[in-house]
Chains A and B, each alone.
Chain A
Amino acid sequence: MSAAASPARRPFGLAAYGHVLAGVVWRESLRFLHQRERFVSALVRPLVWLFIFAAGFRQTLGISIIPPYETYVLYDVYITPGLIAMIQLFNGMQSSLSMVYDREMGSMRMLLVSPAPRWFLLTSKLLAGVAVSILQVYAYLVIAWFWDIEPPTWWGYLTILPALILSGLMLGALGMVLSSLIKQLENFAGVMNFVIFPMFFASSALYPLWRVQEGSPWLATVCWLNPFTYAVELIRFAFWGKLDLFSLAVVLGCTIVFLAAAVIAYDPSRGMLMRRGG
């Protein structure tokens, strides 16, 4: 057969978009399953927090009844949404950074020479990262279930899903923007120190904000301004089968802003890709 026997050249139709998205998600999932260490470390990290940190603080930290909880909950239950968001935060930063640096640069170029519009390619790539993070979250929830952490009804496992998609998108898009803007963040340690830790600690992941307010009003303000807080709260409410509209609005708005910034950053006529050419 001839190498040049080109498949009929059609405009990029809806089916073609579907093939692109499915292909990107499929490849990302395959790669993830091949990288066992990544899967294990993604799972061990929140479990260390759950089994050691939460167990230690269980006695000292009482959580009063705050929405969405209607009864007194254990500290392990309280920090679970925070740990879930942490899984997504790590995953989002990791996949966005690896996209640009390391050997991934090559495969990123392969992705970007696809005739599909660039915004669609980037969104597909983000969704693929989100799919992987959701696999990690459910693996964590299975183990947490054995630790007696479960939503009031089984529906919680389903209602958490849209929250995970949205928060995963927001954090992945943020990673994409950061990786393009800040050159100093070339290694993961820098991202840990300057992005992941501050975002995680200055949020409602580990302690309710009314408690932070008592101790340090300015820190509470920082927490209130941190988009990660709203990702945590969105997940917290969703896991409990409820919807926190304000968190939804903030997460949705941040997702749109970060995504737009990422598309601009990767725009051929201005973005960061230029600086790296040579």
Chain B
Amino acid sequence: MTTSAPSVSAVSPSALAVEHVSHAYGARKALDDVSFAVEPGIFAVLLGLNGAGKSTLFSIVTHLYASRGGKVRIFGHDVARESGAALAELGVVFQSRTLDPDLTVEQNMLYQGALHGMSGAQARQRGRDLVARVGLADRLKDRVRQLSGGQQRRIEIARALLHGPRLVLLDEPTAGLDIKARADILTLTRRLVDEDRVGILWTTHLVDEIRPEDKVIVLHKGRVLAADSARAVIAAAGADSIGEAFTKLTRGGGDDA
């Protein structure tokens, strides 16, 4: 039996649908009725200060733990109930470094491939292609430890793409990088959207990483204050820039760091 291409239904599901997700650690509410959607193949930015609830949301979307209320769907698959199917569509770049520094780039790729049930040959081939794609073909046999921070990030992006996900989550991927490396990572990620139609959800607190056509989800103190294109968010707030719009939106709750 051959598997046919997924039929195009009248309403194709969002790459990511977060529906009424709430979460609390004890009495502290980290997420309060959060809802938004990320359409397939777009560059979306989750914008929020530290402590806004980005990490909690990230952990719930990646199925590290379940939300107290609400649902998360990835291409229509409920993360809590069909986690296998949901996670197969998802690539992740965590904020903390998760490559094995003592292993080579290629060994890291092979390990990731195995985790996604790929054979060694398949993972080797695809890993090589993707490492070339992020411009580090000559570093394939080098230990990760020998790579710069920016290079490691690029390898992490290549690794997140290994199993061919249609949505990639990046949690503050430019944190701790210099200006040049930051620009490189951003350019590389935007190319994935433009050339390969990979959907991206990029979390950050830096407004200068946002373009007018990007979808922006403003998360503040566990609540979604806006979820639209940056252009529309700016217009709705009556601001001149996304930075100003963010300040206006989050004003009134100014007791945070």
Chain A residues within CB distance 8 Å of chain B = 1-10, 12-13, 15-17, 19-20, 22-24, 26-27, 30-31, 34-35, 103, 105-107, 109-117, 268-269, 271, 273-275, 277-278
In the complex the two chains form, what is the Cα distance from A6 to B3 in whole Å? 14
Q: How far is the CA of A225 from the CA of B103 in the complex (A)?
A: 42
Bound Cα distance A138, B108 (Å): 28
Cα-based distance from A31 to B110 in the complex (angstroms): 14
- B221 close to chain A: CB less than 8 A: no
Contact A113 B87 (CB under 8 A): yes
If A4-B197, A20-B115, A109-B94 touch, whether A277 touches B64 (CB-CB below 8 Å) is: yes
A32 to chain B, nearest CB (A): 10
Cβ–Cβ contact B84 & A117, under 8 A: yes
Cβ of B80 within 8 Å of any chain A Cβ, yes or no, is yes
A106 and B117 within 8 A (CB): no
Known: A3-B161, A268-B80, A277-B64. A23 touches B85 (CB 8 A): no
- A30 x B88 contact (CB < 8 A): no
Residues of B within 8 A of A115 (CB): 83-88, 116-117
B55 within 8 A of A: yes
- Tell me if B174 is interfacial: C-beta within 8 Å of chain A: no
The reply to whether A15 and B117 contact each other, CB–CB distance below 8 Å, is yes
With A31-B102, A275-B25 in contact, do A1 and B114 touch (Cβ < 8 Å)?
Answer: no
When the two chains form their complex, are residues B87 and A114 in contact, meaning their CB atoms are under 8 A apart? yes
User: Sorted from nearest, which 6 A-B pairs have the closest CB atoms?
Assistant: A23-B114, A6-B164, A16-B117, A106-B98, A4-B196, A269-B66
Q: Which of B59, B80, B114 contacts A26 (CB 8 A)?
A: B114
Could you tell me if A4 and B166 are in contact, using CB atoms closer than 8 angstroms? Answer: yes
Q: Give A160 Cβ to nearest chain B Cβ, in Å.
A: 29
| Among B84, B98, B117: residue with most chain A CB under 10 A | B117
- B59's nearest neighbour on chain A, judged by CB, is A277
CA distance A275 to B65 in the complex (A): 10
Whether a CB of chain A sits under 8 angstroms from the CB of B147 is: no
17 further interface pairs, Cβ-Cβ under 8 Å (given A9-B3, A113-B87): A7-B126, A7-B164, A15-B117, A16-B116, A17-B117, A23-B113, A31-B102, A34-B102, A111-B115, A112-B63, A113-B63, A115-B84, A115-B116, A116-B115, A117-B84, A277-B25, A277-B64
B22 at the A interface (CB under 8 A): no
CB–CB B130/A273 < 8 A = no
Chain A to chain B contacts (Cβ below 8 Å), 19 pairs: A1-B133, A3-B195, A6-B163, A7-B122, A10-B3, A12-B88, A19-B117, A23-B113, A23-B114, A27-B103, A27-B114, A109-B64, A109-B98, A110-B92, A110-B112, A114-B115, A115-B85, A268-B66, A273-B59
Per-residue interface assignment for chain B, residues 78 to 115, with 1 indicating a CB less than 8 Å from any chain A CB and 0 otherwise:
00100111111010101011101011000100111111
B245 at interface by CB-CB < 8 Å: no
Residue numbers of B with Cβ under 8 A of A are: 3, 25, 30, 55-56, 59, 62-66, 80, 83-88, 90, 92, 94, 96-98, 100, 102-103, 107, 110-120, 122, 126, 129-130, 133, 161, 163-166, 192, 195-198
A1: chain B residues within 8 A (beta carbon): 129, 133
- Interface pair B198/A273, CB less than 8 Å apart: no
Inside 8 A of A103's CB, which chain B residues have their CB? 96-97
B87 proximity list for chain A (CB < 8 A): 113-115
Q: Which residues of the other chain, A, contact B166 by a CB distance below 8 angstroms?
A: 4, 6
Flag if B96 contacts A268 (CB, 8 Å). no
- State A115–B62 Cα separation when bound (angstroms): 10
In the complex, chain B residues whose CB is within 8 Å of the CB of A23: 110-111, 113-115
- A113 with B117: in contact, given A3-B196, A30-B103, A277-B59 (CB under 8 Å)? no
List the B side residues contacting A105 at CB < 8 Å. 96
Residues of A within 8 A of B97 (CB): 103, 106
Cα distance A71–B188 in the bound complex, in angstroms? 71
A106 surroundings in chain B (CB, below 8 A): 94, 96-98
Q: What is the distance, in angstroms, from A17's C-beta to the closest C-beta of chain B?
A: 7
Would you give the shortest CB distance from B109 to chain A, in whole angstroms? 11
Residue among B55, B56, B111, B166 with the highest chain A CB neighbour number at 10 A: B111
A28–B103 CA distance with the chains assembled, in angstroms: 11
Minimum distance in angstroms from B47 CB to a CB of chain A: 19
Neighbouring B residues of A110 by C-beta, 8 Å: 92, 94, 98, 112, 115
Q: A113-B87, A115-B87, A274-B65 are in contact. Are A3 and B130 (CB under 8 A)?
A: yes
